[in-house]
């Protein structure tokens, strides 16, 4: 457990935050469709990972208010990236499903971002690459805590 009163731990947390933010910004610029906001892309990514969801479930997963998610889903639907269907058990609700067009766009986006990261990794030595590979599951865990 990091001790943020200890200078080394505080510096490490600060360096991690800064590096993750800078890398995230650089990755956000590697988009396939510039007309989508980062939030819209995140919703599509959540649907790709988790499958069909209600707007309320998406709002919780994306940490936004339900009215905001309703607007995001409407925008994605107008762009042909999601479809709304009746909930199989509760006809008062709708479920959101990504379309084939969204799947194709997300795959192209992943390829572009992966290629960008691969080009950065080429600048690492073998020890740095091994450390990064070992850190990937830990970073994934942090992203989902």
Domains observed in the chain: 31-143 (1.10.10.10)
Nearest to 51 by CA among 112, 107, 105, 96: 96
User: In this structure, what DSSP letter does residue 86 have?
Assistant: E
Assign 19 a pLDDT band (cuts: 50, 70, 90): very high
- The pLDDT confidence band at residue 32, using thresholds 50, 70 and 90, is confident
Tens digit of each residue's pLDDT (9 = 90 or more) over 100-117? 999 999 999 999 999 999
Yes or no: say if 88 and 79 are a contact pair by the CB < 8 Å rule.
Answer: no
Nearest one of 39, 41, 60, 12 to 113, comparing CA atoms:
41
This model's pTM is above 0.85: no
The pLDDT of residue 133 is above 80: yes
| Span 30-52, average pLDDT | 88
pLDDT reading at 2 higher than 80: no
Whole-angstrom distance, CA of residue 20 vs CA of residue 107: 23
Going by pLDDT thresholds of 50, 70 and 90, the confidence category of residue 1 is low
Per-residue model confidence (pLDDT) at position 128: 95
């Amino acid at each position: 457990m990091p001790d943020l009163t200890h200078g080394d731990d505080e510096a490490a947390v600060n360096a991690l935050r800064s590096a993750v933010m800078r890398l995230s910004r650089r990755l956000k610029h590697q988009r396939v469709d510039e007309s989508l906001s980062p939030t819209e892309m995140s919703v599509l990514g959540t649907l790709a990972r988790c499958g069909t969801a209600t707007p309320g479930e998406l709002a919780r997963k994306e940490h936004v208010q339900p009215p905001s998610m309703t607007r995001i889903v409407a925008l994605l639907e107008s762009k042909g990236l999601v479809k709304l269907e009746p909930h199989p058990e509760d006809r008062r609700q709708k479920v959101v499903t990504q379309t084939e067009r969204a799947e194709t766009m997300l795959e192209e986006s992943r390829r572009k971002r992966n290629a960008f990261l691969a080009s950065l990794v080429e600048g690492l030595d073998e020890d740095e690459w091994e450390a990064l590979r070992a850190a990937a599951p830990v970073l994934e865990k942090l992203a989902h805590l």
